[in-house]
Amino acid sequence: MRNLKDLLYKVSLELVIGPTDIAVSQVHFDSRAINSGDVFIALKGTAVDGHQFIEKAVAHGAKAVILEDLPDYRSENVTYVQVNSAHEALALIGANYYDNPSKDLKLIGVTGTNGKTTTTSLLYQLFKKLGFKTGLISTVEILIDGKVVPTKHTTPDPLTINSHLASMRDAGVDYCFMEVSSHGIDQERVTGLHFVGGMFTNLTHDHLDYHNSFAEYRDVKKRFFDMLPSQAFAITNRDDKNGEFMLQNTKARKLGYALKTYTDYRAQIIENQFGGLQLKVNNQELWTKMIGEFNAYNVLAIYGCAIELGLDSTEVLEAISQLDGVSGRFQYFTTAAQRITAIVDYAHTPDALKNVLETINAIRTRNEKLITVVGCGGDRDKSKRPIMANIAASLSDQVIFTSDNPRTENPDVILADMEAGVEPIDFKKTLTVTDRKNAIKTAVQMAQENDIILIAGKGHETYQEINGVRLDFNDRLIVADLLKQLNK
């Protein structure tokens, strides 16, 4: 049991009707989860207004309701707490409920359009290798010093975040690396967390369905740096045109990393090939298995973060050189006989797709064909569809457009949106196969000796969501199996 008054610590209250010095059990923002003695937080959501479920929550036994608008009908046995922002209240109550676990470990948040999972996962691997107990909150999984917890969100809701941070604290975790998505910042999922560091990867086109405009998307990302305390460090990519902007109003120590601009952490690419990258990092040599210029940024960012956290430069560089890649990010599969290479990558934004294709084009010899299999998600930013199709067609020799996660949309409508972006000159290179498995099969059948197949968009995902239903689906297993059959 918890005392409601303690849960409300630091929450700015508008009006309280009923006692607060009362024992309550759990906290929920979904009326369907409420049991007797719980607290219900009514959130104005993107689809419905949680205030319409207050009566239901009370009928299920809610003892207190946190809300923005008071209902006309109120039960006498319930405490109603009116706040200015219920999302903010949820975040603070979540932290209070678990006794502010983010204060008991060193929490580092990474934001940006692309590279969050890669950066946080590499930091997790690096700190584990250097002997620390480490935690990770990422799109792929949550890790509590090796223990895997499945996740659905990049940045989960505040109750989930704080509950995992509490498990990390209980497991003695020293450092936790966490992805901070723009939805997460906007919906106050990270409010009230105590960060010792913040990192910014880059800002390009994504989620414009949710944020309305690029400026709005950019401003939301900046809010993460605005909330960092003065003891924290904030390290941003200075080759990105918004790298400095992110730090304009932060109290944190401002730092930069870049390949093309002079700043605190600098790297130069000496060699870029399928085997990995050779870099000069602040005048020291570094070899890494990570591939492509965009990964030079990711590796440099984790180096800067590790140094800011007080680690020894030589030890860090040595450990970075041993890091493996991240699942579903430029993960590749080859056949011994035909030497066909298939690359599975999570590129689901125009910039990511362009980077991956340019990386492959930069390091391949021009004799082989590059075949790209790509789709775009349903119920998400539609404006990126024609752009991604245009990029895929102009930077590949052959493209097969297919379904990603159509969610509740008609897959063929998504594909038509994509096809509309292809330049007439590139039409002959394109083909549309709606079923993703058949599209991958088609690519493998088309491939000849030494050809390269890029399967973009789903990376690590182990499902495909069609008609609102998630079915088992795994690009990596499918392509590995098809390539194995070729080997026979």
Ligand X SMILES: CC(=O)N[C@H]1[C@@H](OP(=O)(O)OP(=O)(O)OC[C@H]2O[C@@H](n3ccc(=O)[nH]c3=O)[C@H](O)[C@@H]2O)O[C@H](CO)[C@@H](O)[C@@H]1O[C@H](C)C(=O)N[C@@H](C)C(=O)N[C@H](CCC(=O)O)C(=O)O
Ligand Y SMILES: N[C@H](CCC[C@H](N)C(=O)O)C(=O)O
Stretch that binds ligand X, among 75-83, 170-178, 181-189, 331-339 (CB under 6 A): 181-189
C-beta of residue 55 within 8 angstroms of C-beta of residue 67: no
Asked if 153 touches ligand X (CB under 6 A), the answer is: yes
Is 114 part of any known ligand binding site?
yes
Tell me the CA end-to-end span of the chain in Å, nearest whole number.
Answer: 62
Determine the size of the site formed for ligand ATP (CB under 6 A): 23
* Strand-pair category, 79-83 with 13-17: antiparallel
Stretch that binds ligand ATP, among 257-265, 312-320, 343-351, 441-449 (CB under 6 A): 343-351
Instruction: For 399-443, give the DSSP string.
Output: EEE--S--BTS-HHHHHHHHHTTS-GGGGGGEEE-SSHHHHHHHH
Structure tokens at 201: 């990867």
Which of residues 63 and 458 has its CB atom nearest to ligand ATP in the complex? 458
Stretch that binds ligand ATP, among 111-119, 210-218, 375-383, 405-413 (CB under 6 A): 111-119
- Residue 484 CA: distances (Å) to CA of 131, 444, 448, 450: 37, 11, 15, 15
Is 118 part of any known ligand binding site?
yes
Stretch that binds ligand ATP, among 28-36, 97-105, 227-235, 347-355 (CB under 6 A): 347-355
Asked if 458 touches ligand Y (CB under 6 A), the answer is: yes
Residue 214: which residues within 8 A CB-CB, separation 6 or more?
A: 205, 208
Instruction: For 5-69, give the DSSP string.
Output: HHHTTTPPEEEEES-SS-EE--EESSGGG--TT-EEE--B-SSSBGGGGHHHHHHTT-SEEEESS
Please tell me the distance from the alpha carbon of residue 404 to that of residue 445, in angstroms, as a whole number.
20
Beta bridge partners, 268, equal 280
Which of residues 308 and 404 has its CB atom nearest to ligand X in the complex? 404
Asked if 348 touches ligand Y (CB under 6 A), the answer is: yes
Is 334 part of any known ligand binding site?
no
Asked if 352 touches ligand ATP (CB under 6 A), the answer is: yes
Asked if 318 touches ligand X (CB under 6 A), the answer is: no
Which of residues 88 and 240 has its CB atom nearest to ligand ATP in the complex? 240
Instruction: For 209-255, give the DSSP string.
Output: HHHSSHHHHHHHHHHHHHT--TTSEEEEETTSTTTTGGGTT--SEEE
Is 407 part of any known ligand binding site?
yes
C-beta of residue 207 within 8 angstroms of C-beta of residue 220: no
Is 238 part of any known ligand binding site?
no
Using DSSP, state whether 326 is helix, strand or coil. Answer: coil
Binder of residue 457, out of Mg ion, ligand Y, ligand ATP, none (CB less than 5 to 8 A by kind): ligand Y
The owner of tokens 């009370």 is: 58
Binding residue for ligand X, selected from 29, 175, 177, 233, defined by CB under 6 A: 29
Binding residue for ligand Y, selected from 457, 473, 478, 483, defined by CB under 6 A: 457
Give contact residues for Mg ion (rule: CB under 5 A).
116-117, 139, 154
- The number of CA neighbours under 13 Å toward the Cβ of 482 is 22
Asked if 257 touches ligand ATP (CB under 6 A), the answer is: no
Binding residue for ligand Y, selected from 102, 154, 335, 372, defined by CB under 6 A: 154
Asked if 139 touches ligand X (CB under 6 A), the answer is: yes
Which of residues 184 and 192 has its CB atom nearest to ligand Y in the complex? 184
Using DSSP, state whether 344 is helix, strand or coil. Answer: strand
Binder of residue 240, out of Mg ion, ligand Y, ligand X, none (CB less than 5 to 8 A by kind): none
Binding residues vs ligand Y (CB under 6 A):
154, 348, 377, 380, 404-405, 457-458, 461
Where on the chain is the footprint of ligand ATP (CB under 6 A)? 114-118, 139, 154, 179, 181, 201-202, 294, 297-298, 329, 345-347, 351-352, 355-356, 459
Q: Residue ranges for the binding site for ATP?
A: 112-118
What residues line the site for ligand X (CB under 6 A)? 29-32, 43, 45-48, 50, 53, 139, 153-155, 157, 181, 183-184, 187
Known binding residues for meso-2,6-diaminopimelate are 380, 404-407, 457, 461
